[in-house]
């Protein structure tokens, strides 16, 4: 627990670049947020709703909804906030990005995300931000869960040769010799509802496919 085992929590962060806090959100708060997601999904019809760029509101397991009151409540949750204060070692924090994630049990949105980083070493070579996935319902392996390569931020510079542009999403180039080294140490992290996994954006990560019969519900916060 980051609040009762602070030294161990920070030692894991420094060593691995990824940590998990348990029971950050209560079961009631998780269910309230899932209810809100269902309400939002009720406004969509077969992915017909798109943004100005033509991206479907449900895309690759992400629900393109931002600035919702339920997301604001997650950001302001005391346990969530205190975990981030520990990581950043400061009390004044700025949330730069949040949205929901829904990975259904079938269709193209059920597929996992390949190993990648969400920071481009050609643009931001040093520490820039943290990312987080908060499980709103249990995320066992078969339902599609977060996957990371602990300690991989030490290899972040190798992604410079894999970046195709200045975009922040840089996928692991399967032709590179580094692939086998990273892929062999990829660790799926099963999560309970309310658990929060936070990682340094230089850490190689992805998520697994949903092979179950239930939706995966998460919130993303950076």
Enumerate the β-bridge partners of residue 103.
Answer: 216
**Which residue, among 116, 117, 99, has the nearest Cα to 62 in the 3D structure?**
99
Reduce the DSSP state of residue 26 to 3 states and report it: coil
**For residues 63-76, average pLDDT:** 87
pLDDT number for residue 180: 85
Q: Which of 60-64, 139-143, 147-151, 195-199 has the lowest mean pLDDT?
A: 60-64
**For residues 75-93, average pLDDT:** 93
pLDDT number for residue 154: 93
**Residue 42 above 70 pLDDT?**
yes
**Residue 1 above 70 pLDDT?**
no
**pLDDT range class, residue 205, cuts 50, 70, 90:** very high
**Residue 212 above 70 pLDDT?**
yes
- Give the pLDDT confidence of 93-112 residue by residue, as tens digits: 988 888 999 999 988 889 99
**For residues 180-191, average pLDDT:** 93
pLDDT number for residue 96: 82
Alpha carbon of residue 18 to chain centroid: 11
- The residue among 135 and 54 whose pLDDT is bigger is 135
Model confidence, pTM: 0.90
53-77 burial, b for 16+ CB within 10 Å, e for fewer?
A: eeebbbeebbbebeebebbeebeeb
Enumerate the β-bridge partners of residue 117.
Answer: 170
**pLDDT range class, residue 53, cuts 50, 70, 90:** low
Q: Using CA atoms, how far apart are residues 17 and 48, in angstroms rounded to an integer?
A: 38
pLDDT number for residue 95: 83
- The residue among 1 and 9 whose pLDDT is bigger is 9
**For residues 79-84, average pLDDT:** 92
**Residue 186 above 90 pLDDT?**
yes
**pLDDT range class, residue 45, cuts 50, 70, 90:** low
H-run or E-run covering 181 = helix 178-183
């Amino acid at each position: 627990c980051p609040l009762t085992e602070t030294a161990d929590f920070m030692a894991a962060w420094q060593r691995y670049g990824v940590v998990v806090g348990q029971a950050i959100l209560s079961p009631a708060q998780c269910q309230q947020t899932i209810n809100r997601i269902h309400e939002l999904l009720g406004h969509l019809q077969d992915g017909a709703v798109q943004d100005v760029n033509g991206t479907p509101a449900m895309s690759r397991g992400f629900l393109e909804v931002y600035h919702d009151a339920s997301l604001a409540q997650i950001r302001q949750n005391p346990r969530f906030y205190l975990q981030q204060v520990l990581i950043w070692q400061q009390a004044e924090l700025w949330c730069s990005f949040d949205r929901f994630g829904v990975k259904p049990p079938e269709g193209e949105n059920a597929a996992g995300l390949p190993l990648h980083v969400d920071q481009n070493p050609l643009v931001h070579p040093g520490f820039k931000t943290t990312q987080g996935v908060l499980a709103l319902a249990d995320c066992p392996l078969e339902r599609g869960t977060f996957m990371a390569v602990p300690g991989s931020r030490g290899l972040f510079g190798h992604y410079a040769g894999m970046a195709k542009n200045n975009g922040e999403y840089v996928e692991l180039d399967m032709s590179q010799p580094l692939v086998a080294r990273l892929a062999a140490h990829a660790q799926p992290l099963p999560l309970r509802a309310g658990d929060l996994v936070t990682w340094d954006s230089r850490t190689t990560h992805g998520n697994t496919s949903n092979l179950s019969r239930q939706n995966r519900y998460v919130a993303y916060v950076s």
